[in-house]
Amino acid sequence: MRPDVVCMTPATQKAAIGEPAKAGPEIRVENVSLRYETRSGTVQALADCNLTVSGGSFACLVGPSGCGKSTLLDVIAGLAPLQDGRIEIAKRPDGQPARLAVVFQKPALFPWKTVLGNIVFGLDAQGISRAEARKRAQHYIGLVGLDGFDKAYPHELSGGMAQRVGIARALALEPDVLLMDEPFAAVDAQTRALLQEELRRITAHSGMTVLFVTHDVAEAVYLGNTVFVMSKRPGHIIRTVSPDAEQRDRASGAFARITSEIFDLLAHSTPAKATPGAKATPGERA
Ligand code: ADP
């Protein structure tokens, strides 16, 4: 078996499943609109986006390329400015702001650090003691199926393994909210299917609130308790779907039916009305 398609061992599965944790915070997005000013004009990326991710759930945001999914994730993560509307992420039970971690399509690992070093780096920055950081890093390396690769350097890893490191690095922060932007888009189909399975298992009882961006409808239905379907740009939510266990079983007819319904929705979606003042850029229909 190739190292990048290694499955979780029974020991790591047990660690992943464990006791159910407390539910993470709810995320509420209200009337969020966002425009980019570019040299060729204003690009209206989002128009009046509304969605609520329940605390502790796994939600997927699916839509065609360029519809504004990453922009919305960036606004929620605080990486893009909130121009219009409201984002509310519930506080932790101790009254502190929720802790967020983001996983991108490319894990951007430090090439001069080992797998362990890459994970420990983020924990050091949080002021966690070196001994605790190493212990935690080892735990999450095992959880993502990379036992024995802690001393490997990024150039010695396949794309799938590097993405596992990116996920372990985010999980090691033990966030309340995990935001993921097309994390499996750059890996081959077989690895992608395995990573999806593992992510579903790792997050199932973690208590984290997860928001996962993808343009892949089948991925969204397999992973999400909730699937937010986004229109063409300027993006807004046109439907919220809550697939049941049968609909999330890739081998079932119900899975094929619900993915095909979402495809139809996407094919016939129309962009939201642009916010007044935004000029349409070439190719924009709104
Ligand atoms: P998606 O994630 O759905 O593929 P994005 O959120 O990346 O979509 O992009 C939405 C639209 O905003 C696209 O038309 C894209 O070209 C544009 N866009 C994204 N980021 C920027 C930026 N920094 N500056 C200008 N335009 C941008």
How many angstroms separate the alpha carbon of residue 143 from the centre of ligand 1? 33
Average pLDDT over residues 194-202: 91
Tell me how far apart the alpha carbons of residues 85 and 75 are, in angstroms, rounded to a whole number: 11
| Protein residues with CB under 6 Å of any ligand 1 atom | 36, 38, 43, 45, 63, 65-71, 233
The residues near 89 (Cβ < 8 Å, ≥ 6 apart) are 25, 26, 27, 28, 76, 97, 98, 100, 177
How many angstroms separate the alpha carbon of residue 27 from the centre of ligand 1? 22
Which two structure tokens, joined as six digits, stand for 3? 């190292």
Average pLDDT over residues 101-125: 94
Cis preceding linkage at 97, omega within 30: no
pLDDT at 182 over 80: yes
Q: Whose alpha carbon is nearest atom 6 of ligand 1?
A: 68
pLDDT digits over 115-159, tens only?
999 999 999 988 899 999 999 999 999 988 899 999 999 999 999
Res 15: pLDDT:
37
Average pLDDT over residues 75-92: 95
What is the set of domains in the chain, with CATH numbers? 3-99+175-267 (3.40.50.300)
pLDDT digits over 15-66, tens only?
343 444 578 999 999 999 999 999 999 999 999 999 999 999 999 999 999 9
Mutate to test the pocket of ligand 1, among 32, 36, 65, 180 (most ligand atoms within 8 A of CB): 36
> Could you tell me how far CA 236 lies from the centroid of its own chain?
18
Res 23: pLDDT:
83
Contact (Cβ atoms closer than 8 angstroms) between residue 16 and residue 8: yes
Q: Whose alpha carbon is nearest atom 26 of ligand 1?
A: 36
Tell me how far apart the alpha carbons of residues 250 and 252 are, in angstroms, rounded to a whole number: 6
Share of the chain above pLDDT 90, in %: 73
Res 187: pLDDT:
85
pLDDT at 284 over 80: no
pLDDT at 9 over 80: no
Task: Single out the residue of 224, 249, 207, 234 nearest to residue 56, CA to CA.
Answer: 207
pLDDT at 67 over 90: yes
pLDDT digits over 227-274, tens only?
999 999 999 999 999 999 999 999 999 999 999 999 999 988 776 665
Average pLDDT of the residues of the chain: 87
Which two structure tokens, joined as six digits, stand for 224? 């999400």
Given pLDDT bands bounded at 50, 70 and 90, which one contains residue 86?
very high
10 Å Cβ neighbour count for 267? 9
How many angstroms separate the alpha carbon of residue 206 from the centre of ligand 1? 31
Atom of ligand 1 nearest to the CA of 67: 3
**φ/ψ of residue 166, rounded to 5:** -60, -40
The residues near 129 (Cβ < 8 Å, ≥ 6 apart) are none
- The larger pLDDT score, comparing residue 256 to residue 206, is at 256
Res 11: pLDDT:
35
10 Å Cβ neighbour count for 285? 10
> Could you tell me how far CA 200 lies from the centroid of its own chain?
12
